[in-house]
Amino acid sequence: MVKDPHVPGGVRLQKLLSQAGVASRRHAEKLIVSGRVKVNGQIVRQLGTRVDPKATLHVDNKRVFRDETNLTLALNKPFGVLSSMSDPEGRDCLANYLADYNERLFHVGRLDQNSEGLILVTNDGELANRLTHPSYEIKKTYMTTVAGVVNAASARAALEGVELEDGPIVCDEFVVKDSLSDRSLVQITIHEGRKRVVRRLMKQLGHPVIRLVRTRIGSIHLGHLHSGATRKIEGDQLAELMKLVDL
């Protein structure tokens, strides 16, 4: 049974939309009547519907944020940094690059110490959990420099499945971008997060990784973010990221 989004004593839906800066109350009413507004995933067309002020709202399937409490960041993890928020041995870790933020932050996924690139950091525990949960199959893209010339047979094997010690790995994309006499640049996209899986894949194919940089998680790209720097993910970018995991 679908739960009725109407909550006696709640806040009028058009008022919440107006407070969020989506539209004036009059225009918000038009959005509601036309079926463009969802409350907790359910379309609401009835004017005057009162809802929980903490309800999840979407307009045109884009998440509506009503406050500034959500903090989600893209961080370009440098080589040699641990993917953890603290380290008892005092080694360089993610927290050293997030000192400007007082919120309790969760990192999304991991990169091994010798890998670089995009890590998402958020104070939204549910977002972090869903982005890492295998059921959502969030795609991640890596640019890898590997030893040797990667041929078509290796690319075909990566797309069809390569057996590792903990089960097969099938790449969503495997594109050789460039090759020299002793190394190749390969773009790899996968939708799982097993430990060191890209490195183990390439080793199994006979091309050990020399350098590994993650460039994308879901809809978020590393772009031109400098090593060690952060960038806020907000507005439409954050809404699109949350849409991937049904938030």
pLDDT digits (tens, 9 = 90+) for 185-225: 999 999 988 899 999 999 999 999 999 999 999 999 999 99
pLDDT tens-digit series, residues 38-54: 998 899 998 889 988 88
Q: What is the pLDDT at residue 68?
A: 64
Q: What is the pLDDT at residue 1?
A: 47
Q: How is residue 242 annotated by DSSP?
A: H
Average pLDDT, the chain: 90
Of residues 6 and 227, which shows the higher confidence score? 227
Of residues 187 and 110, which shows the higher confidence score? 187
CA-based nearest residue to 49, from 63, 69, 35: 35
Is the distance from CB of 247 to CB of 63 less than 8 angstroms? yes
Cα–Cα distance, 132 to 115 (Å, whole number): 18
Whether the predicted pLDDT of 8 surpasses 90 = no
Q: Kindly give, in sequence order, each residue whose CB lies less than 8 Å from that of residue 234, ignoring residues fewer than 6 positions away.
A: 65, 70, 72
Q: Kindly give, in sequence order, each residue whose CB lies less than 8 Å from that of residue 40, ignoring residues fewer than 6 positions away.
A: 3, 5, 55, 56
Average pLDDT over residues 55-78: 85
Q: What is the pLDDT at residue 211?
A: 97
Of residues 147 and 11, which shows the higher confidence score? 147
CA-based nearest residue to 216, from 186, 183, 190: 190
CB atoms within 10 A of CB 31: 17
Cα–Cα distance, 138 to 236 (Å, whole number): 18
Is the distance from CB of 106 to CB of 121 less than 8 angstroms? yes
Whether the predicted pLDDT of 66 surpasses 70 = no
- Whether the pTM exceeds 0.85: the reply is no
Helix axes 125-132, 235-244, angle to 10 degrees: 50
Q: Is residue 183 very low, low, confident or very high in pLDDT (cuts 50, 70, 90)?
A: very high
Cα–Cα distance, 9 to 127 (Å, whole number): 29
Classify burial at 150, counting beta carbons within 10 Å of its beta carbon; exposed 0-12, middle 13-18, buried 19 or more. Answer: buried
Cα–Cα distance, 49 to 57 (Å, whole number): 13
pLDDT tens-digit series, residues 111-139: 999 999 999 999 888 889 999 998 999 99
CB atoms within 10 A of CB 181: 6
Q: What Rg value do the Cα atoms of the chain yield, rounded?
A: 22
Q: Which of 4, 60, 112, 166 is catalytic?
A: 112
Residue 166 bears catalytic tag: no
Of residues 20 and 1, which shows the higher confidence score? 20
Q: Is residue 67 very low, low, confident or very high in pLDDT (cuts 50, 70, 90)?
A: low
